[in-house]
């Protein structure tokens, strides 16, 4: 009986770890994050739950952080919502890439929108 219980616990533990790893990978994908980005810019969206608000903030923080790198020359005066909107539009124009890492597509979107002039 102990052997059966040990095997059952081992199986359940492996299933949990596998699910956790899959969930973690999904949370880095554009498919997972894009709806939260859309909610962030939607002024008519209902008050988000705490978890939804955290993911919306994660999306906005990623966009702001990536927009601050030296390969993006964004103009002054942009709001976070405007920058997130640019990322959403870029991603939605490329639906076949929704499975890709959100950070990579965000970097591409911001560099395409506001490329830096080459230094001379």
Supply 27's token pair: 């949370």
DSSP structural state of residue 13: H
CA 34 – CA 85 distance, rounded (Å) = 11
CA atoms lying within 13 Å on the CB side of residue 4: 1
pTM for this model (two decimals)? 0.76
Domains with residue ranges and CATH for the chain: 28-113 (1.10.890)
Query: Which of 32, 77, 22, 99 has its CA nearest to residue 59?
Result: 32
Lowest mean pLDDT among 1-5, 43-47, 79-83: 1-5
The pLDDT tens digits for 6-51 are 333 334 343 433 444 445 548 889 999 999 999 999 988 889 899 9
Task: Check: CB of residue 86 under 8 Å from CB of residue 109.
Answer: yes
């Amino acid at each position: 009986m102990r052997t059966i219980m040990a095997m059952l616990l081992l199986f359940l533990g492996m299933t949990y770890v596998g699910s956790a790893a899959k969930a973690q990978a999904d949370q880095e994908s554009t498919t997972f994050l894009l709806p939260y980005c859309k909610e962030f810019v939607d002024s008519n969206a209902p008050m988000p739950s705490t978890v939804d608000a955290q993911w919306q903030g994660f999306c906005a923080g990623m966009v702001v952080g990536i927009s601050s790198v030296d390969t993006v020359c964004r103009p002054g005066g942009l709001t976070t919502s405007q920058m997130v909107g640019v990322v959403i539009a870029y991603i939605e124009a490329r639906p076949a890439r929704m499975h890709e890492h959100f950070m990579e597509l965000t970097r591409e979107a911001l560099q395409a929108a506001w490329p830096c002039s080459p230094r001379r």
